[in-house]
Amino acid sequence: MIPSINNICCIGAGYVGGPTMSVIAEKCPEITVNVVDINANRIDLWNSKDLNNLPIYEPGLAKIIKNCRGKNLHFSTNVEKEIKNADMIFISVNTPTKTKGIGAGKASDLKWVEVCAREVAKYATGHTIVVEKSTLPVKTAEVIKNILENSNEKQEENNSTFDVLSNPEFLAEGSAINDLLDPDRVLIGGESNIAIMALHNVYRNWVANEKILHTNIWSSELAKLTANAFLAQRISSINSIGAICEATGADVREVARAIGTDSRIGSKFLDSGPGFGGSCFKKDILNLVYLSNYFGLREVANFWEGVVQLNSWHQHRISELIVKKLFGTITGKKISILGFSFKANTNDTRESAAITICRDLIEEGAILKIHDPKVNKYQIEDDLNLEEHSHLLSKDNFKIQRDGAWIFSEDIMDSFEEVDAVVVLTEWFEYSKLNWEIISKKMRKPGWVFDARSIISAKDVINSGLKLWRIGDGSID
C-alpha cells in the first residue's frame, strides 16, 4: 500500500530547499511542509515580514511565501522536532568541492550530507522516506542508506525504518519557480516502488504523469551531473566559437542562429557570454572528472576537465582584452562594472564570471565601481575577499589611488562618473535600456564599453561617441 504523505521536512533552507518546498506547499495544501536549517540568521530572513528581505531572490517566490507561510509552510531551526514528525525528509544541504584531502579540487565534500543522515537516523520515528535533493555524486544514496540502516542511534527505540530516493533538481536560477511549476521532467530514482510512488503522488498534484520519470537510484544521481555537464559544455563550446568569430570577423550571434535552427542541436544555451557560473556547473563537472579518474577512465576525465579549463581561460581572456584596449594599462583607471550575480534574476554570485574578471582588473590596479540590482556590497566583499574602499568616493582620493580597489554604486548613474570603461557582465534587463548619450558625457574620453552579454544597442553606443567591444564580435566601429 502506498503511504500518504502528510508531513514533509526539508533539511536545508538554501537555493534548492527554500523554493522547492515553497512550491510543494502551494500545490499540496493538505501537506505540512517544514524547512529547517541550523543557520538561525537564514531562517530569520525566511520568516521576515519584509518579503524583499528573503535570503533568495527568485521571481515569483515572494508571492508564494506570502500565500503559504504560517499556513502549511514553516521555517525553523528545530531540526529534531521536525524530523520526528516527518513522513518524508528531503536532504537539501550544500555539497561544496573538497578543498583538501583525497579528491581535493574535484570531489564533493559530503560532510553535511552525512551529518543530516545521522540526525535522521537519531530522531526519525516509524517508517521515513529520505529523499536526496542536493546535487550529489553517484553512489551517495548508498552512503546515506548505510548510515540509516546501521546507525545505533535510537533506531530500535524509535522503531525506525527507511527508504532512500534520489530526486535531483533541474532548476535554472532566475527562473526556478517557473521550472518548479512547469518542469521538463521530475526524476525519481530508488529501489522501492512503493516509496517512489509516494513521492510521485506528491508531484502529481501539479505535474503530468508522463513527466515524472522513474529510474534506479544510480541513474538518477548520474543524470543530474550529466545534465549540468552537457549544459556547461554548450556554454564553453559557443564561447570558444565566439573567440574564433572575433579573430575572423564573423558574428557569433549569426553563427548561433544558424546552428540553432538545426533540430538536432536546438537554440538553447547558445548565447555567448563571460562564461558559466552558479553553484552546480563547475562543481558537477569536476565531480565527473573525479569519478572518471576513480574508475580509470582518464580520457573521459580529460574531456570534461577541458570544459572547465576553457571556461576559466575565457574569463581571463576578457580581462586581458580590457587591459589591452585601454592602452595596455589600467593602473588608477576607473571602470564601471554592471552586474555581479552569475546571471540575471538572481542574487546568487557563486562561481560568477564577475568575480574572476573583477579580481583580474583589481590586480592590474583598476578602481572598480560595481553595480548590481540584487547583490549587496557585503556579498561582493566576501567574493572578492577585499573590503570596499568607500573613501575612494572622494575625487581627490581617486586621483592619488594607485592600488587596485573597488566601491559599490547604489545608483547606477553614479557608476559612470569619470570612468574610462563600462563592462557589462550580467544580463539584467535594466542594462539593456541605458541612455548612452547621457552616459558618454559622464565618462572620460576615449571611453570604452565592453558588452560581455550582447544586450546593449551597438548603434546607440557608437552614436554616443564611445568605442564598443562585444562578445563574439570584437570591436565595432
**What does residue 330 show for φ and ψ, rounded to 5 degrees?**
-125, 15
Show which residues are catalytic.
169, 224, 280
DSSP string, 136-166: --TTHHHHHHHHHHH--SSHHHHT-EEEEEE
CA–CA gap between residue 64 and residue 68 (Å, rounded): 6
Helix-strand-coil split of the chain, %, nearest 5: 45, 15, 40
Residue appearing with cell numbers 578543498: 99
Q: What is the DSSP letter of 467?
A: E
CA–CA gap between residue 272 and residue 280 (Å, rounded): 19
**CA dist 259 → 229, 262, 268 (Å):** 20, 5, 11
Q: What is the DSSP letter of 337?
A: E
Amino acid at 71: K
Torsion sign across C-alpha atoms 321, 322, 325, 329: negative
**What does residue 162 show for φ and ψ, rounded to 5 degrees?**
-140, 150
